[in-house]
Amino acid sequence: MNKWHSPKIRSSEITPEAAYLNRRQFMQGAAVVTAGALLAACAPKADPTPIPTEAAALQGQTDELGGALTPYEAVTGYNNYYEFTTDKEGVAPMAKDFKTRPWTVEVSGLVGKPRTYDIDELMKRFPIEERIYRLRCVEAWSMVIPWRGFALNQLLKEVEPTGAAKYVHFVSILDPKQMPGQNSPFYTWPYSEGLRLDEAMHDLTLMSTGLYGKDLLPQNGAPLRVVVPWKYGFKSAKGIVKIELVAEQPRTLWSDAAPNEYGFYSNVNPDVSHPRWSQASERRIGESGRRPTLMFNGYADQVASLYTGMDLQANY
């Protein structure tokens, strides 16, 4: 798995995915993107978020591979959330007034008992666990985060998927007034993601309601996001308002935008390069240097059996 090494990735190579769509789309949307970038650049940077007592108590813990937790300030201040801005350090200040109440989550489709949950009811309905998971971004950086939430399979069992259900489709909130990035013409909003049903039912798949011992902040996907630790981070849809069980593979935002770069499975695989950079190594936020990328982000023992017989070079 680590038989070859990638060259160091220059920061200039890690640019918004939108820039790699076709030239006509780029030119049509250039004015919007430029305006958004200027707004993000002019937005006041967030003051360092005070570290809650709960978060301070967790500092010093490690994941099962001995990886230290990524500092709270980085987890809450360096975020990919294109609904707000492509500027990772600009998300937190732009999202600080995002309203997460009232909020409902519809669970429907090929289920025996469709239901719409109030978010506060949902957060109380299932046993909440604390789990330390690694998050690996397709841009070749990673974090170790202490998540809080419940296993997705508990929710799915309650609504009783039918025999026809093969996939789970996640739909995020559409609210351009609160989320100015949704005015971008490059993407098919709202954010849409999907998993195979067996992936969604796996015990590792988490519906996250918090991190570092506290409820999620808006920049981290409040009030509800999915966390699939063996996949690249963009599979972890944020601000979820709908979960639909379907028979056919659902569309996903990134596969729509650039299908040659973002496949449906999106498993962390050091042997499958992104078209513009290697995935063989990664930069752990808060550390210097780079480290080898682990197959399935280090969760191969738990999840590799889901893909027995599949060509993971073709099913990227």
Burial 53-91 (b: 16+ CB within 10 A, else e): eebeebeeeebeeebebbbbeebbbbbbbbbbbbbbebb
Instruction: Say which residues have a Cβ less than 8 Å from residue 112's Cβ, sequence separation at least 6.
Output: 159, 160, 161, 162
Q: Where are the domains of the chain?
A: 14-307
pLDDT values of the chain reduced to their tens digit, one per residue, 316 residues: 333 333 333 333 344 444 433 333 333 333 333 334 433 433 444 455 678 998 999 988 999 999 999 999 999 999 999 999 999 999 999 999 999 999 999 999 999 999 999 999 999 999 999 999 999 999 999 999 999 999 999 999 999 999 999 999 999 999 999 999 999 999 999 999 999 999 999 999 999 999 999 999 999 999 999 999 999 999 999 999 999 999 999 999 999 999 999 999 999 999 999 999 999 999 999 999 999 999 999 999 999 999 999 999 999 9
Contact 306, 205 (CB under 8 A): no
Alpha-carbon span 23 to 32, nearest angstrom: 15
Q: What Cα–Cα distance (Å) separates residue 173 from each residue in 103, 125, 144, 196?
A: 10, 22, 26, 22
Question: Which CATH number is 14-307 given?
Answer: 3.90.420.10
pLDDT of 39 reads: 38
Record the pTM: 0.86
pLDDT of 313 reads: 93
The token pair that represents 300 in the structure block:
């191969």
* Number of other residues whose CB lies within 10 A of the CB of residue 271: 15
Contact 116, 104 (CB under 8 A): yes
Alpha-carbon span 88 to 75, nearest angstrom: 11
**207 conformational bin, left if phi > 0, alpha if psi -120 to 50, beta if neither:** beta
DSSP state, residue 103: -
Alpha-carbon span 252 to 170, nearest angstrom: 9
Quick check: helix, strand or coil at residue 117? Answer: strand
Quick check: helix, strand or coil at residue 214? Answer: strand
Exposure on the CB side of residue 162, measured as CA atoms within 13 A:
12
Rg (CA), the chain: 19
Largest separation between any pair of C-alpha atoms in the chain: 52
